[in-house]
Structure 1
């Protein structure tokens, strides 16, 4: 492929990516504060699916499906119907994959860096689960602050309460994100948000970088994890001359961030499939692995983000509601349930004992017409209760528990 053609393809991809972020920002401003409770999210999904998703609504539809535990459905959505990238022609003999077990890699760069930035795809709950799994390693390495783009309330208020609620943010309504926040609070990180959404890309990155840079003013002990969406973790100017949060933060602090991208089947599909297949042949993809450094484009891979490491997820076989999976099942408590009432759609959620229904549940799943069996995953040894919502709000229900199984029905 000629260099000019390759640059053109990259520009198309980057412009498409910016379009996603622009739509995402507009949709976020519209929906935050309106559609964060389960019954509101459920209403929205039902309405959009009835009307048919379009370029403006497919983004929040995907976010809501992620929050409601339907990640397999998100993998079927086309977020950029107007863009059909050319098929990759990869020479596998030139594909070099420097595989590092994720635990080893995280221990290494947690020990060597003061700022680590981890990307999430807003449609992929497992990206959030992965970030939560790394927090104990960072805490052991002396990291002091955890900052998330998605937190919309003050860190002090969140910390004093001890758990996230629907007002905490929009993406934080995902139970996986809620559990990340609980873990960060339990590990005694200083937890904070840093984002707002002005009308310019430059203004947003400048605001966020300024807020985070203040953590390092006259404080040599600060070590920071930044949980960010998509390209905010890019620390080098892009081909279309955009500078993102990592680059601006580096300028303001003089500290180079260590940046991590996550690859899964939800996005980066062609590159992901090629790399995942190669890793599977090597027997290296039973759980996420790091590519440090990332693969080059010499073998024909087109879009490799300019970051320090790429975290490759295993192929996702999760299927809601009865065959839902998590990244680390041996570290979670599995609840096998059955919905025994012919009333749909509903959301079945597991709440931590003592937390109100305005809190973010430990896990939840949307049940569609005719579905009865479901699986929920919660932190181990956690006491919980089952709560049900329909499109009108909280539904009176009863649960019969037997160890890690539950029969749930609506009360007459």
Structure 2
């Protein structure tokens, strides 16, 4: 069993990858994003080279390609995952989480920003925790202004600037927000990265951000009903308790615990992966039912979820890992497959504003034939090439699945069988 993890700098996750002198981040090129030039954005990141590997991986994830994101992310092994898997008892992570969360008011779950499998786990968790009385969902990626979701839709930020987070346009992330709203959760923004003084070093910037996040979450609790419960969704190490690293950093969860006296249940989905895209997510326990975590995570997180890896020779399975949570796999009409260069296919509902996140979005190279993943309904599909211009457009209807089966009800990868479009 192969276990992989993120680079240390990415796992700590408080600051972006350093930018070489003269390089221009596409995030700062609002005209490109405003034009829908996602192909140009990918090419711009790729041209910079390995210094922006993590940023390139985030963009591939945003464009429905977890396989390319994983390859670009330059991940390395993390000790302990194999040992836990060999010695522990495999357990359904949703069942374990439900049991551990019974007496907790606050649950914190992290994600890998360029592995949407983490967000698929969030989708699985939401109905369970709602039934257990959880009422609020705090998301790191939401703007502090709280203006990037409304009327059941997710606003896709394109303008850059202080409050800009690129994650909302990733289809699985948008599905998380839509699902949370549909279940009746109250959404809570709590993060703001640029609060330290300009001359602060890296550790000072991290510490400043963690303090602000924890303070805002603590304030959220004071305004919630006394019987309300809070789910916090964050990136990487923000959910760590205890002290971390040679600088003895206090991450958000630890600061929150110290500030409120509440010990949050913390769940890590980023450190350990399974060997194949069709594997079911799993966690491991000791014979007494207590969760087992790798040695480096002891005292930091309460449980770890091993997520499927978007690798292997089966391109449809690798590119589609966990994307079945979005809906049924649906064939893209031949007229919308790129032929003269890379392209991005998007699926929105008729009349849906172009500044909202699509229900699916997929980066394709010439010759690649991959499905979209969509819930039942009618959609307008568009193909954009470099420059952002729409090269082709068509309507498509996705039928309800046979036998009333609901897409995305399991943590394993769905079948590779692709439903025809019409």
TM bucket, shorter chain: 0.7 to 0.9
- Following TM superposition, by how much is the alpha carbon of 1:239 offset from its aligned partner in structure 2, in angstroms? 3.4
CA deviation string 1:196-247 (max 9, x = no partner): 1123111111111111111222641221111100000001111320010001
Residue correspondence of structure 1 range 5-404 to structure 2 within 5 A: 17-18=11-12, 21-24=14-17, 31=27, 34=30, 39-49=36-46, 51-55=47-51, 57-77=52-72, 79=74, 95-152=86-143, 154-155=145-146, 157-167=147-157, 169-198=165-194, 199=196, 200-217=205-222, 219-240=225-246, 241-263=248-270, 268=271, 272=272, 276=274, 286-292=279-285, 293-297=291-295, 306-317=300-311, 324-327=319-322, 329=324, 332-340=327-335, 342-368=339-365, 370-378=366-374, 380-399=375-394, 401=396, 404=419
C-alpha distance in 2 between matches for 1:130 and 1:342: 34
CA deviation string 1:317-369 (max 9, x = no partner): 4766796324374882221124436332211011134421211111111122x
- Following TM superposition, by how much is the alpha carbon of 1:97 offset from its aligned partner in structure 2, in angstroms? 1.4
Distance 1:388 1:153, change over 3 A: farther
Q: RMSD of the TM alignment (CA)?
A: 3.4
Distance 1:153 1:144, change over 3 A: same
C-alpha distance in 2 between matches for 1:33 and 1:147: 28
Distance 1:88 1:325, change over 3 A: same
Distance 1:77 1:286, change over 3 A: closer
C-alpha distance in 1 between matches for 2:340 and 2:383: 11
- More divergent stretch after superposition (159-168 vs 169-178): 159-168
* Alpha carbons 1:98, 1:295 under 8 Å: kept: no
Flag the structure with higher helix content: 1
* Alpha carbons 2:135, 2:186 under 8 Å: kept: yes
C-alpha distance in 1 between matches for 2:85 and 2:353: 54
**1:4 corresponding residue in structure 2:** none
- Following TM superposition, by how much is the alpha carbon of 1:128 offset from its aligned partner in structure 2, in angstroms? 0.9
* Alpha carbons 2:56, 2:72 under 8 Å: kept: no
C-alpha distance in 2 between matches for 1:77 and 1:349: 22
Distance 1:37 1:138, change over 3 A: farther
* Alpha carbons 1:323, 1:375 under 8 Å: kept: no
- Following TM superposition, by how much is the alpha carbon of 1:397 offset from its aligned partner in structure 2, in angstroms? 2.1
- Following TM superposition, by how much is the alpha carbon of 1:24 offset from its aligned partner in structure 2, in angstroms? 4.4
C-alpha distance in 2 between matches for 1:29 and 1:251: 37
* SS in structure 2 at match of 1:75: helix
CA deviation string 1:33-88 (max 9, x = no partner): 83656833321211233x34132x222111101111222122222547xxx87x96
* Alpha carbons 1:147, 1:193 under 8 Å: kept: yes
Distance 1:91 1:203, change over 3 A: closer
C-alpha distance in 2 between matches for 1:372 and 1:29: 27
